[in-house]
Each structure stands twice: as C-alpha cells, then as structure tokens.
Chains A and B, each alone.
Chain A
Amino acid sequence: MKHGAYIFLASFLALSASWCGLVLAPQLQLGRQTLSPITGTTDQYPQRRPGLAEAGLQVYRAQGCVTCHSQQTRQTGAVFDVVLNELGTNETAVALALAALKVDWKPADLQALPRDLFRGVDFAAADAAERTLKPTGAKFSIAVRATGPDIERGWGLRGSVAADYLQDQPVLLGAQRLGPDLANIGLRQPDVNWHLNHLYAPASTVQGSTMPPYRFLFEVRPVGLQPSPAALKLPPAFAPPAGYEVVPTDDALALAAYLVSLRASVPLFEAPVTVALPASSAAAPAP
C-alpha cells in the first residue's frame, strides 16, 4: 500500500462529491418546503391522506405498482384563455376595445355572453386584452391553462411540483409508464368500486388493459346466508361462478382508498392553473 493515503483520499472525494450532489444539494434546495394555503379556503395543501389511504400507500409500495406507474405529470408550457363575462354599462367602449384587440365578433355575439375572446394565447396577448378591456368596465376573466402531452392525455390539470409530495413517505414518483400516470387518478376515477373491480380484473373496467390482475387481494368465497355488502359487482364475463362472491381484503380496500386519494390539482404559486371554484362550497374540504 504505497499509495494508501491517496487511494483513500480519492475515494473519499469521489463519494462525498456524489453525496453532495445527490443528497445535500436537493436538501438545500427543496428541504424547506412547507404547506401552502389553498386559495378561497382556510385549508392547507397538501392535506394528509385518510388513515386507510396511508395504509394503502404501503400496499401500493409492496405490490410494486411503482414499477409500471409513475406519479408525476409533466407540463411543457402554459397558455391563457380570455373570456368576456359581462358587457357592463358602456357597450360602445367594449365594442371599440374588441375592435382594437382585433377580435372577430358580430354585434349578435355580445348578447350571448360569456364568450371566449382568446383561447391559448401567450402572456403578452392576455396582458394586452386585460389592459384594453379593464377601462371599459366590462367583466372578463383570464384563465391559466397548462399544456403538454401529459395534460392532453387528461392526466392532470398542471405539472407536478415538489410540494405535491410533502405528505408522501416514501415518495413514489415512478420511472416507467407501462400503465398510465396515476398522479391524478383520484380525479379521473373517484369511485372506489371502480378501482376494486380494476384490481380484481383490469379488463373489466379498461378494455385491453395489460395490467396483471391482483386476485390475491380478494377472497372468492361461497355466498353465506346473506351476500356480503362489500362483494364486488362485476360484469358477467368476469363474475365468479354462481353461488360465489368476490370480497376485497383489507389490503385491497386500503389500496383503492389510496388510489382515490391521489389528486394533485390544487393551484399552487409554483404551478399556477385556474380551477373553477364551486360557488357554493368555497370552504369545502379540498380533495
């Protein structure tokens, strides 16, 4: 060991450099994330999952769902939609503003409000519309919309950001998409029974699904004196033989509850998006 000290020093430097890059730098950058307030409510985002869903996260992890499903929606851009809601009192000014903005409109259009003025424009165009319309007293709204292949597939309203994962332990981002992205599966399929049917027989809910069935999370048993209220209601092609019923185990129920709880749609400062706020339930618990 003529160069023992050098070998030690070199390997120490190599390992500590990778530790700095993979552990320390992300911790310095993202380690102080906190919950964000949800606009229009007194709640914070993200909220903790219900207990059953927290247990379901461990089932998701144990069954290796993360091997084929990601939980990260990607966003490549953002665009604006400008909608004219009300004319206000000065219709002539609004008409002049619309002419200045080079909107193609007919007088009859102004009677059928709300009307889209611009869809999918950039910030400069939306800003010009705002500046031109504001002095006229007309009421208009400017919505922010995320764009990108994942958004077009309907996998989410906006891109995923670090704050979405604050309550996950561990974070199950996933790296492969043999199945669809699940970051917002609770928005797309809010029904627990859909998920239970899908786990028992994937093709019963999604035609041509390549997902393997997870039948060992269910119990196929003879119907007792009374059929179980928890038994799955399966289409005839997937139903068990007559006199039998399919009952989900605790693991299946927890996994379904976890999948339903996967929603990352709340607008955040770092991921702006306009979500229509239900007028009658401003302080309703956030999904």
Chain B
Amino acid sequence: MNAPETNTVQPEAEPKAGAATMPVWLLIALLVIFFYAGLYFDARGGWFNPRLHAPYHSLAQLEQFQPKADDGGIARGRAVYEQLCAVCHGSDGAGKPGQAPPFAGAEWVITDSVGRLIRIPLQGLVGPIKVKGVEWNLAMPAMGASLSDDDLAALLTYMRKSWGNQAGVITPEMVKQVRADTASRTQPWTAAELEKIP
C-alpha cells in the first residue's frame, strides 16, 4: 500500500477584513445625491399630506386647479335656480301669471338693499307685493333650510346677473350674516316688513 500523500501545499490563509478607508469622492458624491434627493422631496413630495395625490405636489398648486365656474358661480347658481325656482318663476325669469312674479328687471331683485332680497328665499314671503308695477298676492315657501349659504349666494348672484339684470354679487358672507340675524324668525315675511329693512 502506498503511503498516504502528504499535503505539501500550504492552504491559503483565511482572508481577513482590513480597515479600508472610504474614498473621499464617494462620500462627497453620496452627500450631493442625498442633498438633491432632499430638495426633490421637499419640492415634489407633498410632505405626506393626505389630500395630495400625483400629479399635484402642493396645496397651493391644487388650489390653482380647482374648477372655476364662469363668473363666480353663475353655473352653480343656474343649477340651483333650475332645480328650485324655475318651476314657478320660469327659466327665463319672466314669472308666471297667477303663480309667481318675474325676476327680470324686478326692483326686488336688483335692489341695493340686499338684506331684503336674501330674506325672501330664507323665510318665504306672503301677502301683497308690487313687482314692476303689478300687484301680486301669493305665498312663497321658505327655502332657507335646504339651501347652504354658498348655494343661496350663487343663486341670488345668478338672478342678479341674468335676463338683463346687472346688479352686484351676493357673497356667502352676506347670506350668513342675514341668516344669523333672522335665526329666530319662523314666519314668512310680508312686503311691508321688508321695506322697513335698510
């Protein structure tokens, strides 16, 4: 029998971890990359705001993209008008004999005493009222409970700017103020009462 071969080759030494210094250029490159990543996140990331989804990256930008109704809510006002008012007052604002007085050119609509105008849809109106020289004696139901301040303001603005009317805008703040002033009122107004309001 042959004698077992002796292993004369020495095994390679186990590799050992040495202390290798990180190249300075790599360190600087990483710092620059992190810096720009931070800038990019700051500008585009939206800071985890739950209302921000791609492609928008800030609330200010989102605000710019909110749909604008033509001329400050005219479209919304028209929608409310067609839903609530047009049945009696007509889509053309001309009113209907025996049902409702006209809005086109009506002094009650284009009046500067907006407090009177806002009160009518809020609490309703009963009894005789003179519109464009014609006497009406009907009852208009209160709409205040079903209309938000925004909707009522858009509606009245639409009425004051349509069918040849050219009166000023009614803002939701005006409606809010009148609604607060008349919170205790449950009865419909009469024309005589309204005329006392400045």
Binding site for B on A (CB under 8 A): 25, 29-30, 32-33, 39-40, 42, 74-78, 85, 123, 127, 130, 139-144, 148, 159, 161-162, 267, 269-274, 277-283
Q: Which A residues touch B54, using CB under 8 A?
A: 74-76, 159
User: A273–B65 Cα gap in the complex (Å)?
Assistant: 8
B7, chain A: closest CB distance, angstroms:
34
Q: Which A residues touch B20, using CB under 8 A?
A: none
Cβ contact within 8 Å between B53 and A159: yes
Cβ contact within 8 Å between A270 and B62: yes
Known: A29-B50, A282-B82. A273 touches B67 (CB 8 A): yes
Cβ contact within 8 Å between B66 and A144: yes
Cβ contact within 8 Å between B70 and A270: no
Whether a CB of chain A sits under 8 angstroms from the CB of B48 is: yes
Cβ contact within 8 Å between A30 and B66: no
* Interface locus among B26-34, B71-79, B112-120, B190-198: B71-79
Cβ contact within 8 Å between A277 and B79: yes
Kindly report which residue of chain B lies nearest to residue A276, judged by CB atoms: B75
Cβ contact within 8 Å between A269 and B66: yes
Please list 6 pairs of residues, one from A and one from B, whose beta carbons are closer than 8 Å in the complex, sorted by A's number: A25-B48, A40-B151, A141-B68, A269-B62, A272-B65, A282-B83
Cβ contact within 8 Å between B148 and A141: no
Cβ contact within 8 Å between A281 and B56: no
Known: A29-B48, A270-B53. A277 touches B62 (CB 8 A): no
Kindly report which residue of chain A lies nearest to residue B83, judged by CB atoms: A282
Cβ contact within 8 Å between A30 and B50: yes
Given contacts A272-B66, A280-B82, A280-B83, 17 further A-B contacts (CB under 8 A): A30-B50, A32-B50, A39-B76, A42-B148, A76-B54, A78-B55, A130-B68, A139-B71, A144-B67, A159-B53, A159-B55, A270-B52, A271-B53, A273-B67, A277-B76, A281-B83, A283-B83
Known: A85-B70, A141-B69, A277-B75. A282 touches B80 (CB 8 A): yes
Q: Which A residues touch B187, using CB under 8 A?
A: none
User: A53–B148 Cα gap in the complex (Å)?
Assistant: 31
Cβ contact within 8 Å between A139 and B70: yes
Q: Which A residues touch B52, using CB under 8 A?
A: 270
A286, chain B: closest CB distance, angstroms:
13
Range for the number of chain B residues in contact with chain A: 20 to 34
Kindly report which residue of chain B lies nearest to residue A146, judged by CB atoms: B55
Q: Which B residues touch A270, using CB under 8 A?
A: 51-53, 56, 62
Cβ contact within 8 Å between B76 and A40: yes
Whether a CB of chain A sits under 8 angstroms from the CB of B64 is: yes
User: A273–B78 Cα gap in the complex (Å)?
Assistant: 19
Whether a CB of chain A sits under 8 angstroms from the CB of B146 is: yes
Q: Which B residues touch A40, using CB under 8 A?
A: 76, 79-80, 151
Cβ contact within 8 Å between B53 and A161: yes
User: A131–B54 Cα gap in the complex (Å)?
Assistant: 28
User: A78–B51 Cα gap in the complex (Å)?
Assistant: 16
User: A162–B76 Cα gap in the complex (Å)?
Assistant: 26
Cβ contact within 8 Å between A282 and B53: no
A284, chain B: closest CB distance, angstroms:
9
Kindly report which residue of chain A lies nearest to residue B80, judged by CB atoms: A282
User: A40–B82 Cα gap in the complex (Å)?
Assistant: 12
User: A139–B161 Cα gap in the complex (Å)?
Assistant: 11
Q: Which A residues touch B68, using CB under 8 A?
A: 130, 141-142
User: A127–B66 Cα gap in the complex (Å)?
Assistant: 12
Q: Which of B67, B71, B82, B148 contacts A143 (CB 8 A)?
A: B67
Kindly report which residue of chain A lies nearest to residue B72, judged by CB atoms: A134
Cβ contact within 8 Å between A33 and B79: no
A122, chain B: closest CB distance, angstroms:
10
A139, chain B: closest CB distance, angstroms:
6
Q: Which A residues touch B75, using CB under 8 A?
A: 141, 277
Kindly report which residue of chain B lies nearest to residue A143, judged by CB atoms: B67
3 A-B pairs with least C-beta separation: A282-B79, A141-B70, A274-B67
A151, chain B: closest CB distance, angstroms:
11
Cβ contact within 8 Å between B82 and A279: yes
Give the interface centre of A33, A130, A144 by most chain B CB atoms within 10 Å.
Answer: A144
A259, chain B: closest CB distance, angstroms:
24
Kindly report which residue of chain B lies nearest to residue A161, judged by CB atoms: B53
Cβ contact within 8 Å between B62 and A272: yes
Q: Which B residues touch A142, using CB under 8 A?
A: 67-68, 70
Cβ contact within 8 Å between A139 and B74: yes
B74, chain A: closest CB distance, angstroms:
7
Cβ contact within 8 Å between A140 and B50: no
User: A287–B24 Cα gap in the complex (Å)?
Assistant: 61
